[in-house]
Amino acid sequence: MNRIDSNSVLALVRAQGHDWIDEAAAQRIAAGVTAAVAAVEASLRQGEAGLLIEDSAGFLMTLEQLAEPPR
Amino acid sequence: MSPEGWTLVEVADAIRARRVTSREIVETCLARIGDWQPRINAFAAVQADSACAAADRADAAVAAGIPLGPLHGVPLAHKDMFFRASRRSSLGSRNPPPAPGAVESSLLGRLDAAGAIEIGTLNMCEFALGPTGHNAWLGDCRNPWHTDHIACGSSSGGGAAIAARLAFGSLGSDTGGSVRLPASACGVLGLKPTNGRVTLAGMMPLSPSVDVPGIFARSARDVARLLGVVAGHDPRDPRSSRMRVPDYEAQLEHGIAGLRIGVPQSYFLESVERDVAARLDDSLRVLTGLGAEVVPVAMPAPEHLTGLSRVLVYAEAAAIHGPWLREHADDYSPQVRMRAATGLAIPAAAYQQARQLRPGILRRFVEAVCAKCDVLHLPTLGIPVPTLTETDVGGAAEMWEKIAVLVRCTAPFNYLGLPALSVPCGFTGNGLPTSFQLVGRPFAEATLLRVAHSYEGVTDWLRRAPVIP
């Protein structure tokens, strides 16, 4: 996967008004973002190609459906 | 045994039976805080006067024969991020943003109603963003077993204070391991409940879809007592579950004969250091001796779970901190401001995908793992507790790597939302505690506590206390 580079990070954070972020900080942030987004991409590749239509609001309901039966 | 050696439930029983007064217990804790605080810096603030006054009221209620709550007269202390309308929480920050309006934590309200006494607020990592216990503003929290070592974080004060017997129980928050890691480092129990089991209302948010309030205590029965008080639906928090709250204490004595304990065959046991691995093996032998069956378990793609969790945590943290951070960046320490800003560059689609993938990944994980076992057994922290110096990297390039080592075995279960309990199981060669972590299917806190209670009955790790040299 391609890295998200520090120039892209700088453009994004400055567009949101965070002028305090310098080149060194942008490099660190780029490393963190790259690793995190790679995990999403890898997980997407493990599923079937197609529209991702699962409702994220259903997470609590999924937990409840999978709950340990009462003793 | 003197009162500081008692567990929370033993103290509650003794107050109820008039064998000791709440005032005596509070004064015992205050004396210990006076001795320990200069060494470990576990407290953000000590509330001696209000705690003594509350203890006197508690003792008067006992004398009057008024019905008593399950925590009546027992001193507790919590991470300084549970709001009370009457005070401003530090949030571990030099310049904490004001909470909107007169916010009151639902959890503190439930503990108050159960009769607990708040003896102070506890040190924490700045804005709960950090697994080590360093804090540039409040001062670093140190490990009571060896003060050159970290207490871990972000609920650093919870682990340190409960281990040093400065209070009898504590609430923290766990977004990537922030209760389980300090519990492991300091040698106490640390529970991260199922997401939705405990209300978030009135707690500082870091990442609302991942955050969970957690519990520190020194016995499984203590954790069960506290969880029974704080668990359950809260009308103020639509994310809290309406599932029935079981009687956790009643299930402790059921034993673990025939229980299947799963040992992961990949990822979690890779790169575990020898000292820790030896203690984990010892604990499995003990559990087997109690009648449990140890089974190997393969699990689907655990290596991506921490990254998926990061996408949620950093995007949500950036959304929450963005406006304050933009105006007050200099009030954040370098590592925390960089981590809080990381989400500003996470693509919106990646964030939404991490959310949408979550129910399906959870379903596949539970179906694969729970078909083979009742609970998972794995490390909480795969290395011996490091020193403050070894982990003091600020915002340097190695920051991500250092953090990843610490949260490797904890953060995956924050993404999955599953309950997890850190249980002390001995000491490594550096004299610091180590633990195993139990993970169960959703809402299986009672099963985790049953295993911990059985283990606790035949080992003495939780009865050992650090001493001032």
pLDDT digits (tens, 9 = 90+) for B258-273: 999 999 998 999 989 9
- Burial of residue B45 (CB within 10 Å: 0-12, 13-18, 19+) is middle
- Torsion angle defined by CA atoms of residues B305, B382, B160 and B59, in that order, rounded to the nearest 10 degrees: 70
* Beta bridge mates, B376: B262, B439
DSSP secondary structure code for residue B86 in this structure: T
β-bridge pairing B117-122 and B43-46: antiparallel
Respond yes or no on whether the N-terminal peptide bond of residue B154 is cis (omega within 30° of 0).
yes
Q: What is the mean pLDDT of chain B?
A: 96
Contact A40 B307 (CB under 8 A): yes
**CB of B400 closer than 8 Å to CB of B388:** no
A34 touches chain B (CB under 8 A): no
The two most distant CA atoms of chain B are separated, in Å, by 62
Residue B415 has pLDDT above 80, yes or no: yes
**Which of B136, B107, B112, B109 shows the shortest CA–CA distance to B124?**
B136
**CA B96, CA B76: separation in Å to the nearest integer?**
23
**Among the residues of B333-464, which ranges form H helices?**
334-342, 348-370, 388-391, 399-407, 411-416, 445-458
> What would the two tokens of residue B39 be?
């060494």
- B418-438 pLDDT, tens per residue? 999 999 999 999 999 999 999
Tell me the ipTM for this assembly. 0.95
Angle between helices B8-16 and B48-64 (to 10 degrees): 50
The CATH number given to whatever domain includes residue B354 is 3.90.1300.10
* Mean of pLDDT values over B99-111: 88
Q: What is the pLDDT of residue A69?
A: 76
Active site residue B154: yes
Q: What is the pLDDT of residue B146?
A: 98
Q: What is the pLDDT of residue B197?
A: 98
**CA B274, CA B237: separation in Å to the nearest integer?**
43
- B314-369 pLDDT, tens per residue? 999 999 999 999 999 999 999 999 999 999 999 999 999 999 999 999 999 999 99
* Mean of pLDDT values over B452-467: 97
Question: Which residue in A has a C-alpha nearest to residue B359's C-alpha?
Answer: A59
pTM of the complete model beyond 0.95 = yes
- How many CA within 13 A on the CB side of residue B224? 21
Q: For a pLDDT cut of 70, what percent of chain B falls above it?
A: 100
Residue with tokens 């259903």: A58
Active site residue B178: yes
DSSP-assigned letters across all residues of B217-259: ESSHHHHHHHHHHHBS-BTTBTTS--SPPP-TGGGGGG--TT-
Contact A67 B338 (CB under 8 A): no
**CA B81, CA B105: separation in Å to the nearest integer?**
9
**CB of B313 closer than 8 Å to CB of B176:** yes
Give the domain range for residue B101: 3-463
**CB of B448 closer than 8 Å to CB of B438:** yes
Q: How many residues are listed for chain B in this entry? A: 469
**Which of B356, B383, B317, B262 shows the shortest CA–CA distance to B130?**
B317
DSSP-assigned letters across all residues of A43-58: HHHHS-SS-----GGG
| Domain definitions of chain A by residue range | 1-48
Mutation target among B342, B401, B414 for the A interface, most CBs of A within 10 A: B342
Mean pLDDT by 10 residues, chain A (71 residues): 88 96 94 94 86 84 90 65
A51 touches chain B (CB under 8 A): no
Instruction: Please indicate, yes or no, if residue B445 is contained in any of the structural domains.
Output: yes
**CA B147, CA B41: separation in Å to the nearest integer?**
10
Instruction: Please indicate, yes or no, if residue B197 is contained in any of the structural domains.
Output: yes
Q: What is the pLDDT of residue A59?
A: 95
Instruction: Please indicate, yes or no, if residue B469 is contained in any of the structural domains.
Output: no
Q: What is the pLDDT of residue B269?
A: 93
Confidence of residue B1 (pLDDT cuts 50, 70, 90): low
**How many domains, in total, are found in chain B?**
1
Contacts of A25 in chain B (CB under 8 A): 338, 341, 395
**CB of B16 closer than 8 Å to CB of B72:** yes
Cα separation values, B431 from B338, B359, B385, B428, Å: 33, 41, 9, 6
Contact A64 B246 (CB under 8 A): no
Cα separation values, B422 from B28, B104, B273, B293, B352, Å: 27, 29, 18, 20, 31
B2 or B36: which carries more pLDDT confidence?
Answer: B36
Contact A16 B344 (CB under 8 A): yes
Q: For a pLDDT cut of 90, what percent of chain B falls above it?
A: 92
**CB of B424 closer than 8 Å to CB of B185:** no
The two most distant CA atoms of chain A are separated, in Å, by 57
